[in-house]
Amino acid sequence: MNIHTIPVITIDGPSASGKGTIAQLVARKLGFHYLDSGALYRLVALRTLQSCIDIDNIAQLTDIARKLNTVFKDNQIYLDGKIVTDDIRSEQCGNLASKLAAHSQVRAALIERQRAFRQLPGLVTDGRDMGSVIFPDANLKIFLTASAEIRAQRRHNQLIEKGISANIADLLQDIIERDERDSNRSIAPLQQCTDARLLDTSSLTISQAQDSVLTWYNEICAKTSA
């Protein structure tokens, strides 16, 4: 079986753009596997925090990334057999993930683990470099974004729904700083690749965004089978 014949849809974009939600919905609709690549960086961040490792110790961070004992199963994420699905969603983990993701050695240690998710009948994945670095031959590449203000508002709503108090101004500041770091790093920066389609969800519902992705994918399938 040639791995490159297995279809892949990549959805890259900034934090809180809704790419995870859209990617999961599209994956469910198509019956494809789903990879949340940001979760891998967040897992490295969680383990780093738990082990009290200096975040400038690149050799140790890389070692954590290489040896990560994780399982993604039934919408849960396990680290060393323990469910950490909610733990890795903290702002602390997200910010540390963004910092350690700037190290090329850490990124390299996670490449094969990500590519291993490419299995039949197909894969939908979200992140920052899915279309540019991990799956450059993806069938459909999307750059999904929304204004920083809308993303801060959406994150605020999510936190309030969970009963967590939050301040929109702080969230907006956080999002702007994370965008800045993820976009300006020298290795695999967040950017729209030339062959990716732009999907701005600022004024779209989740269902409209999902439909756009499915329509594009169906068009590509129709063209390749014609």
Q: CB 102 → ligand DC: shortest distance, Å?
A: 8
**HSE, side-chain direction, 13 A CA sphere, residue 48:** 31
Query: Which is nearer to ligand DC, 184 or 223 (by Cβ)?
Result: 184
Query: Which is nearer to ligand DC, 132 or 210 (by Cβ)?
Result: 132
Query: Which is nearer to ligand DC, 113 or 197 (by Cβ)?
Result: 113
Q: CB 110 → ligand DC: shortest distance, Å?
A: 8
Q: CB 205 → ligand DC: shortest distance, Å?
A: 21
| Residue at 190: amino acid letter | L
Q: CB 98 → ligand DC: shortest distance, Å?
A: 3
Query: Which is nearer to ligand DC, 106 or 213 (by Cβ)?
Result: 106
Q: CB 199 → ligand DC: shortest distance, Å?
A: 16
Three-class secondary structure of residue 81 per DSSP = coil
CA Rg value for the chain: 17
- Locate 89 and state its tokens: 């969603």
- Locate 87 and state its tokens: 């733990």
Residue 188's CB is within 10 A of a number of other CB atoms, namely: 19
Query: Which is nearer to ligand DC, 30 or 126 (by Cβ)?
Result: 126
Binding residues for ligand DC, rule: CB under 6 A, are: 15, 37-38, 41-42, 94, 97-98, 101, 127-130, 178, 182
Q: How far is CA 224 from CA 4, 7, 118, 176, 220, in A?
A: 15, 12, 20, 39, 6
User: Among residues 103, 102, 113, which one has the least CA distance to residue 39?
Assistant: 113
Query: Which is nearer to ligand DC, 97 or 171 (by Cβ)?
Result: 97
| Rounded CA separation 176/39 (Å) | 20
Q: CB 221 → ligand DC: shortest distance, Å?
A: 25
| Rounded CA separation 164/85 (Å) | 17
